[in-house]
Structure 1
Amino acid sequence: MTPPEQTPQSPAAPPPLPVTPPPSSVPTPPPVADSGDASQHTRTFECGSCGDGLEFDPASGQLTCPSCGSTQLISLDPTEQLGQHDLRDPGVGNRAASGLLSAADPAAAQERQVICQNCGGTIVFTGSLTATRCPYCATAIQRDDIHTAPEVLPVDGVIPFGVDDDAATTHIEKWIRSRWFAPSEFKRYRRLGSLQSVYFSYFSYTATAHTDYVGQRGDDYTVTVGTGDDQHTETRTRWHHVSGHLTDSFSDVPALANDGIDPQRVEALKPWPMTQARPFTGEYLAGHLARTYEHGPEETFGRARAEEIDPAIESSVRRDIGGDHQRIHSSHSDFDPLRFRYLLMPIWLLTVVYGGTPFQVYINGVTGEVHGDRPYSTVKIVSAIAALVLVLIGIWALYQYLR
């Protein structure tokens, strides 16, 4: 008898990404509080036709009203350029170091209550969350005090969502269908999970690496050994000492600056279309979640080096050494210049809680690339093994019959 599949449990999206309740279950807002300081640092985008909140529509690249269908172009200055900063600038470093650098930082853990300018309901922002929906009227609302705070680095640019909700659903369902051993209940993610569009914080680095290395070059050669029937050819390697200096250039290498998601899965979403980055404006965030950084640009540069820069330098060193084999004994790189941009990048995040364990699936919000985790169905695996055993038994029986 095959064991029963696990019983799924109710979804619970991990913080700090709140789940927006569906319209049928929207709660009644509490009495309007004094909006004073609580609302002065928030921002919404009002529809000029009906007064409802506008949202950024990835399909059209415009602001759209979900109530009346009106659209509004996002006004951009064609002469405005993406900002870029010197990572070695003491002023930049000090400013970044005093921002939200860690989920354990009191500044990041602090809750802030704001008043929805549409319905007067109170919204609680926690941690690095900077844009969400009002839980009472579903109005897209943003915290401007994070991105404009003097101690936090300003956002230089944003890569807007290009994959809308329908396209994200199509990508998710195709990915789930290809997971043969996923439990059947997991495939009903609409009931079990939460699919959210989120702008995550990235730092993008442009640098020139100056590398000195010491190593060995190995060149293969062949010799004939033995006599008579034992004579054969062997390949041997001749090694000699090498050293050198290389210069490698890197442009817009992105690295994630947030916690709470699987960095390896998110890394697999690359490449990002960095040429699609636009100067930052809050209109792109309307109707989507957004998070400020939890790791500063100096710390995040270590991730960029480990994920992309250092492997590229090692490949460059091996090409420079040449030969059939290479040994790198030591390698040291200095970066000059070393500049960065603070960008918001679009990711669709599906969180499904199955058997008490959360599983997350990530979609590149521009290219539609999907990577994630899923549970395995014991029933399906046991059934597949049993079917394979029966096939093997049948083949053996047929073989015995034909002998």
Structure 2
Amino acid sequence: MGGAQLPPQRPVGQPPVAGAVAVNFVPSGGGAADTRQPDVPVKQPPLPPDRAMLHRTEQTRTYPCSACGGQLQFDIASQKLRCPNCGNYSEIEAPRTPVMARDLREAMGELRALQSTTSGPEVTGNHEIKCQSCGGTTSFVGSLTATRCPYCATPIQRDDVHNAPARLPVDGVVPFRIDEKNARSLVEKWVSGRWFAPSEFKKYKRMGSFASVYHAYFTYNADTHTYYQGEQGIEYTETYRDSDGDEQTVTRVRWYPVQGEVANQFVDVPVLANEHTDRERIKTLEPWPVEDATTYSPEYVAGHLARTYDRDAEESLPEARSEMEGEIERTVRRDIGGDQQRIHSLNSTWNSLAYKHVLLPIWLLTVIYMDRPFNVYINGLTGEVSGERPWSKIKIAIAVTLAILVVVAIIVLYMKFGHHSTGHGSTTTVHHHSTHRR
């Protein structure tokens, strides 16, 4: 199983160049620089046994309520497990501990060795299981690992994926903070603001699907040193006379050779690890408060949808590395200074490279309009909304027609009252001269 080539590390004993500039990178959110140091790669502590009912034959788990026998689910408002039938609350048993990063090379080496001798669970196609509550058939499509029974709404989780030896374990989760009521309010505001969306699309409450989904992400920490060579450009002006004798001013640039080294530290650069046609749209939901992640427990997923990764930490790395390299280039340009910069060469050494596998929450609205799905995404932590909506040809045509009518009306009014005003002035002037002659 192939993957992306990992960047080389600094050779042991090679010192950094004096005068290096250290820069902390805040991914996709702006604001103040993140001064946290990259996490020390450590092994995650073992989790205590949870209260789930494990169904060995189907390799699934559910969370029965001890009070009424119903099914518990993670309640966003209380951040506890709650039974929707009797209202019974249960505390999350898993400890809330910070998530530490894992060394990427070490983890991927162990994973590849296991994959050469062990086959992992299937996360493509359809995986059908029998619901242990009603006996109906539930399908897990592709990388879906948590869903609800379509017949009795029992929350069901695949128990054969996240703990599989031939797959990377989930390190952490940032539980939903925005509940369904608030999420619907946010999407309602977003949909209402799409003036040229068809009226049918705005009736999404009756025709749309609304779901809470945990998506798989890898976040990356890195410590880099980059040696560069380039030129600094200083602008100056020259004045001369052209062929007509007019004075002209032109801006020119003097170039000076430069070289140096900069240091960058990257913390929690996120990459969506699920195959998705709307990757760019989901990207705009950033930034994610990954620093708030807690050690993963399937209890947080109970009653919500969840997906495991489609691309592992090595396969997802190129996207993060591209983002990091863009920030390194911006750091180099700032270090070169001047009015303009030319970069001739960049030689980066990656002193450390670590990752976290975390689940991040997204509310998803899907509306089928004219046989085509339109998706709207809501960051389940910050409330950021991003989505696509159809355009109403009728509304656009009406708007264009009204705009044309307004323009025509302005022209007609100008021609009528503008010429009348000019004629009145002319008449007044003639009358004045006539009086003067008398």
TM-score range, shorter chain: 0.7 to 0.9
- Offset at residue 76 of structure 1 (A): 3.4
Provide the rounded CA distance (Å) in 2 between the counterparts of 1:391 and 1:324: 47
SS at match of 2:402: helix
Provide the rounded CA distance (Å) in 2 between the counterparts of 1:368 and 1:135: 28
Q: Please tell me the residue identity of whatever aligns with 1:86.
A: D
What residue is the counterpart of 2:278 in the other structure?
Answer: 262
Matches within 5 A, 1:134-213: 134-213=149-228
What residue is the counterpart of 1:17 in the other structure?
Answer: none
What residue is the counterpart of 2:86 in the other structure?
Answer: 68
- Point out the more displaced range, 340-349 or 236-245: 236-245
SS at match of 2:396: helix
- Offset at residue 95 of structure 1 (A): 6.1
Query: For residues 106 and 48 of structure 1, do their structure 2 counterparts lie closer, same or farther at Cα, with a shift above 3 Å needed?
Result: closer
Describe the superposition over 1:313-343 as per-residue Cα deviations: whole angstroms up to 9, x where unpaired. 1210110110011122332323221000100
Matches within 5 A, 1:125-140: 125-140=140-155
Q: Please tell me the residue identity of whatever aligns with 2:94.
A: L
- Point out the more displaced range, 214-223 or 335-344: 214-223
Query: For residues 356 and 106 of structure 1, do their structure 2 counterparts lie closer, same or farther at Cα, with a shift above 3 Å needed?
Result: farther
What residue is the counterpart of 1:300 in the other structure?
Answer: 316
What residue is the counterpart of 1:14 in the other structure?
Answer: none
Provide the rounded CA distance (Å) in 2 between the counterparts of 1:156 and 1:322: 41
What residue is the counterpart of 2:368 in the other structure?
Answer: 353
SS at match of 1:381: helix
**TM-score calculated relative to the size of structure 2:** 0.78
Query: For residues 108 and 96 of structure 1, do their structure 2 counterparts lie closer, same or farther at Cα, with a shift above 3 Å needed?
Result: farther
What residue is the counterpart of 1:38 in the other structure?
Answer: 57
- Offset at residue 211 of structure 1 (A): 1.6
Q: Is the 8 A contact 1:97 1:296 kept in 2?
A: no
SS at match of 2:57: helix
What fraction of aligned residue pairs are identical, expressed as a percent? 49
Provide the rounded CA distance (Å) in 2 between the counterparts of 1:122 and 1:158: 28
What residue is the counterpart of 2:128 in the other structure?
Answer: 113
Provide the rounded CA distance (Å) in 1 between the counterparts of 2:116 and 2:151: 34
What residue is the counterpart of 1:236 in the other structure?
Answer: 252
Q: Is the 8 A contact 1:95 1:152 kept in 2?
A: no
Query: For residues 177 and 110 of structure 1, do their structure 2 counterparts lie closer, same or farther at Cα, with a shift above 3 Å needed?
Result: closer
Q: Please tell me the residue identity of whatever aligns with 1:270.
A: E
Q: CA RMSD in A?
A: 2.3
**TM-score calculated relative to the size of structure 1:** 0.84
- Offset at residue 223 of structure 1 (A): 2.3
Describe the superposition over 1:237-258 as per-residue Cα deviations: whole angstroms up to 9, x where unpaired. 1112222221100111111000
Q: Please tell me the residue identity of whatever aligns with 2:109.
A: G
Q: Please tell me the residue identity of whatever aligns with 1:38.
A: T
Provide the rounded CA distance (Å) in 1 between the counterparts of 2:105 and 2:165: 19
SS at match of 1:338: strand
1:372 to 2:387 alignment: yes
Provide the rounded CA distance (Å) in 1 between the counterparts of 2:101 and 2:320: 17
Provide the rounded CA distance (Å) in 1 between the counterparts of 2:405 and 2:339: 49
Query: For residues 230 and 97 of structure 1, do their structure 2 counterparts lie closer, same or farther at Cα, with a shift above 3 Å needed?
Result: farther
What residue is the counterpart of 2:411 in the other structure?
Answer: 396
What residue is the counterpart of 1:312 in the other structure?
Answer: 327
Provide the rounded CA distance (Å) in 2 between the counterparts of 1:218 and 1:97: 52
Q: Please tell me the residue identity of whatever aligns with 2:352.
A: P
- Offset at residue 117 of structure 1 (A): 3.0
SS at match of 2:123: helix
SS at match of 2:357: strand
What residue is the counterpart of 2:71 in the other structure?
Answer: 53
SS at match of 2:202: coil
Query: For residues 363 and 264 of structure 1, do their structure 2 counterparts lie closer, same or farther at Cα, with a shift above 3 Å needed?
Result: same
Provide the rounded CA distance (Å) in 2 between the counterparts of 1:190 and 1:54: 26
Describe the superposition over 1:32-69 as per-residue Cα deviations: whole angstroms up to 9, x where unpaired. xxx97533x21111212111111111122111111111
Query: For residues 324 and 391 of structure 1, do their structure 2 counterparts lie closer, same or farther at Cα, with a shift above 3 Å needed?
Result: same
Query: For residues 293 and 72 of structure 1, do their structure 2 counterparts lie closer, same or farther at Cα, with a shift above 3 Å needed?
Result: same
Q: Is the 8 A contact 1:347 1:362 kept in 2?
A: yes
Q: Is the 8 A contact 2:121 2:164 kept in 1?
A: no
Count of paired positions:
362
